[in-house]
Amino acid sequence: MPIFTLMTVPFVFTLGGFVFAGLLEPMAMALGVSVAKAATLQAAFAFACAFAGPVLAHVTRNLSKKPLLIASLVLLACVNGWSALAENFDSLMLSRIMIGGLGALALPLAVSIGVAMAPPEKRARTIAGIYAGVAVALILGVPAGSVIGGVLGWRASFWMTATLCLVSLVLVASRVPKVPVAVAPTVSGRLDAQSFGYLAVTLLAFSAMFAMVGFIGPVITALTGLGAYGIAALQVLIGASCLAGLRLGAGLAAKPGVPGLPIFGGIVLALAVVIHPLSLGTTTAAYGLVAMVVSILVAPASQFGTAPIVQARLAQAAGPSATFALALNGSMVYLGQGLGVASGAYAIGRWGLVAAPITGVVIAMIGMGVALALRRPTANSKTEPAQA
């Protein structure tokens, strides 16, 4: 199984969307916009992914997956290069929308190819292995983008991403076999009410997290006074926490339901712990650093623990429509990211940077309500009752 090769796909796709997360302040200054407006570049990418992913998956559901994946990687490489050359904010915004909309098939295609090659008992771990590319992007890629962008300018981070997209393209073309095309007649009827509840868990978990994570560079600087290298070091820790969450989720995937209450409880705790020090600023840098580290260790692990559980259930429920179902879950991931960044940007514009984690806490508490609802089996559920 070319799991490593398929893992490079979500790696470069995630990198394309968030490689500049630690460079918002110098990027905003260069483009002549506010930090909150610069962060909307991430929201635009996420919203484009959210709305284009399921549509593209449905339109291309009966086409060969490997050529589609190769075409997606070509687009990712080209548009990241365009982002590096963008002359103004509007041009960069358009490139972010295009990379999100046209590349939205990349992640669900990689996962569905892996699922098609894996025996049923290994699907959850296969999904976790491929999806680990997201965590690796956060562990290595985004911090590398922060360092390279800090040294050579923010445009260099996009050139780095375009180059890595070409590397992934070569690996996929040479190492991933073709998989049979399973004809998918009807998609919507394959998802029951419980599955839509799991999609809501994905949406709310990512919305809560990205209300603050979308502004992670300014938040870290405000809490600790650290610059590009310090931000990159803490971004590595974020990625490691995501990877730990994926491993935990893979182990829990065989159990019924989604452990929603611990997930959202962890997010609430992790976001709440930075509110007080963030309100004080860098005058208490040591206090802010401790709070930031605690937040980083808890929140990403809680959030990413949902990924293998939800995706394994959707892949099993959808059968030959797995690409569509996984694209729908991916849509919730990116819609959550976009909603989180947009709501965080609005809150920061009204009440300052401290409003970002407060907004995330409010969203996570809504997620707790959904988790409580998932404790009860739905009327059409064919599985055991979900335990939150």
Contact call for residues 172 and 5 (beta carbons, < 8 A): yes
Please name the residue ranges forming H helices in 153-225.
154-175, 193-213, 216-224
pLDDT at 388: 36
> In the 8-state DSSP scheme, what is residue 386?
P
Average pLDDT, the chain: 81
Helix axes 193-213, 322-351, angle to 10 degrees: 40
pLDDT at 77: 94
pLDDT in tens, 49-71: 888 877 887 787 778 888 989 99
Fold of 3-177+189-373: Growth Hormone; Chain: A; (1.20.1250)
Compute CA 283 distance to the chain's CA centroid, rounded to the nearest angstrom.
32
pLDDT in tens, 40-49: 898 888 888 8
Q: Which of 168, 262, 268 is nearest to 212 (CA)?
A: 268
How far CA 329 is from CA of 104, 188, 314, in Å, comes to: 12, 13, 8
- pLDDT exceeding 70 applies to what percent of the chain? 84
**Of 159-173, 183-197, 318-332, which gets the smallest average pLDDT?**
183-197
Half-sphere exposure of 150 (CA within 13 A, CB side): 16
